[in-house]
Structure 1
Amino acid sequence: MADQQKIHPVVDVEAPPLPPPPPPATAPLIPPGSSTSEKGIPLQHPPPPLQRTLPVIHSTPPKRSCCCKCLCWTISLLVLILIILGATAGILYLVFKPKLPNYSVDSLRISDLRLNLDMTLYAKFDVKITANNPNKKIGIYYEKGSRLSVWYTETKLCEGSLPKFYQDHQNKTVLNVSLTGQAQSGSTLMKALQEQQQTGRVPLDLKVDAPIAIKLGSLKLRKVKILGDCLLVVDSLSANNLISIKASNCRFRLKL
């Protein structure tokens, strides 16, 4: 085999020499933006905190509706009316010093107490009541529609009404009221009354429901009601005899 020819580069003697290659780039010892101490030691500063920008929400004040204003005015007006009424009531109380009338049962007489053919119990009571008005500046009108009734346990024996009249200041009025009525299950009721009469103590309940009107000076006020409850204990239920009232406990209240 023939020898392979080798090609060698030819050096040009007259060509100028090539410049030396640049030195490799090195990182600076002190990063930009940092400071050094007196000894030249770089001081590290913490990176600044991230700042988040929150969206700005523009709120507008709520608008009052006409209904809200109307409600506020109504409540304010009601409060004002209540204050005026309270002040007026306080002034009237101090001027007139009202007192509740009181009543007492003076006597009770049974005109009739018998069994009917239909086995109902017929009763007729005559009651004498004293009504006392202790007020110095207040008169009382007793109106129509009053009810006065006598009960034994839970059974109404008879019923009547008070007369219509006017009672003046510091006045006592004696009222004679007749009460009549019929009760069912007469035989059973009569037997229970006779057994109770043998003990000498018969409990009766006298109930009062009287509409009245108050007079303050020359002013007549609206109607109110006097409700009363008198627990009586009598010795007997003999007809046409004056019955002795052994105990009486009356309570009255005013209903507006």
Structure 2
Amino acid sequence: MGDNQKIHPAVDVEAPAPTASLVSCGLATSEKGGSSLSQRRPPQPLRTVPAVMQSSKPSQTTRSCCCKCICWTVGLLVLLLVVVGATAGILYLVFKPKIPNYSVDSLTISDLRLNFDMSLYAKFDVKITANNPNKKIGIYYEKDGLLSVWYTNTKLCQGSIPKFYQGHQNITKLDVSLTGQTQDGNTLMRALQEQQQTGRIPLDLKIDAPVAIKLGRLKLRKVMILGNCLLVVDSLSTNNRISIKASNCKFRLKL
């Protein structure tokens, strides 16, 4: 029996107490060294550049290109205006252009009567003088030029201005035959007869002449000479030369 007894290890009373567990030691060590792993700050997110800021550079480049194009265009237009103005100024100083003038020499009424349909038929013969005062400019009178006679905004008759060339400082006399037919002639004839009794009948002679200007050997494009002559005649008797008591003519160019 003495051999079968189990021997248990003796407990040393004077041995030191067991140390804290490994986990406790780790926690204690972390507390002494600083903040624990669980108390560390989370990593800050990366800052992203807004889309507007990202695309600002290409937008500025496009805007700069547009500004350059606008500046170049404006500069070219200004340069073109300066060149045109300088050219026009030089041409004006060299050629010194003047508007041609016209005068009415005589007016003859060949026919003025009422038709059966009560329309008024008129036939006038007008002699006019065209004066080109320019020393270095010739004038080509093109086709479709018209000369017309009006009374109180009613056209009595009209005729064609002949096609011809007028040289430098040239005076040309023209004979133009005018014919026309106006409706409501009875009222118009009565008004003309009443006006004739006063001895002063106002008539308006209008000139519409397409012309081409010749500068030296250069023929420019066509322009219009518009003229307006306010006449006062003493009578409208047929087959008699009418006396022109007053005449006031104005002319201008229409480009």
Fold similarity call, TM over 0.5:
yes
Mapped partners of 2:241, 2:104: distance in 1: 13
2:104 partner letter: V
Mapped partners of 2:121, 2:208: distance in 1: 22
What SS does the corresponding residue of 1:63 show, helix, strand or coil? helix
2:198 partner letter: T
| Residue 239 of structure 2: aligned partner | 240
TM-superposed deviation, 1:161 = 1.4
Cα deviation, 1:66-101, whole Å, max 9, x if unaligned, reads 554443333222221111110000001111111111
| Residue 62 of structure 1: aligned partner | 60
What SS does the corresponding residue of 2:75 show, helix, strand or coil? helix
| Residue 72 of structure 1: aligned partner | 71
| Residue 15 of structure 1: aligned partner | none
Mapped partners of 1:155, 1:67: distance in 2: 58
Mapped partners of 2:146, 2:70: distance in 1: 44
TM-superposed deviation, 1:140 = 0.3
What SS does the corresponding residue of 2:155 show, helix, strand or coil? strand
1:189 partner letter: L
What SS does the corresponding residue of 2:90 show, helix, strand or coil? helix
Mapped partners of 1:190, 1:73: distance in 2: 66
TM-score by length of 2: 0.75
1:44-123 mapped onto 2 (5 Å cutoff): 62-65=60-63, 67-123=66-122
| Residue 192 of structure 2: aligned partner | 193
| Residue 10 of structure 1: aligned partner | none
What SS does the corresponding residue of 2:60 show, helix, strand or coil? coil
Mapped partners of 2:170, 2:157: distance in 1: 28
TM-superposed deviation, 1:64 = 3.7
TM-superposed deviation, 1:145 = 1.4
Mapped partners of 1:161, 1:73: distance in 2: 50
| Residue 140 of structure 1: aligned partner | 139
Mapped partners of 2:157, 2:68: distance in 1: 58
TM-superposed deviation, 1:184 = 1.2
What SS does the corresponding residue of 1:71 show, helix, strand or coil? helix
2:207 partner letter: V
Alpha-carbon spacing, 1:155–1:64, altered in 2? closer, same or farther (3 Å): same
| Residue 165 of structure 2: aligned partner | 166
What SS does the corresponding residue of 1:161 show, helix, strand or coil? strand
Structure 2 unaligned regions, length at least 5: 1-52
2:60 partner letter: P
| Residue 254 of structure 2: aligned partner | 255
1:102 partner letter: N
Cα deviation, 1:79-129, whole Å, max 9, x if unaligned, reads 211111100000011111111111000000001000111111000110000
Mapped partners of 1:68, 1:108: distance in 2: 65
| Residue 179 of structure 2: aligned partner | 180
Mapped partners of 1:208, 1:200: distance in 2: 25
TM-score by length of 1: 0.75
What SS does the corresponding residue of 2:223 show, helix, strand or coil? strand
What SS does the corresponding residue of 2:70 show, helix, strand or coil? helix
Mapped partners of 1:206, 1:239: distance in 2: 18
Cα deviation, 1:164-222, whole Å, max 9, x if unaligned, reads 00000000000000111111110000000000000000000001111101001000011
TM-superposed deviation, 1:230 = 0.2
What SS does the corresponding residue of 1:74 show, helix, strand or coil? helix
What SS does the corresponding residue of 1:182 show, helix, strand or coil? strand
Comparing 65-74 and 126-135, the one that deviates more: 65-74
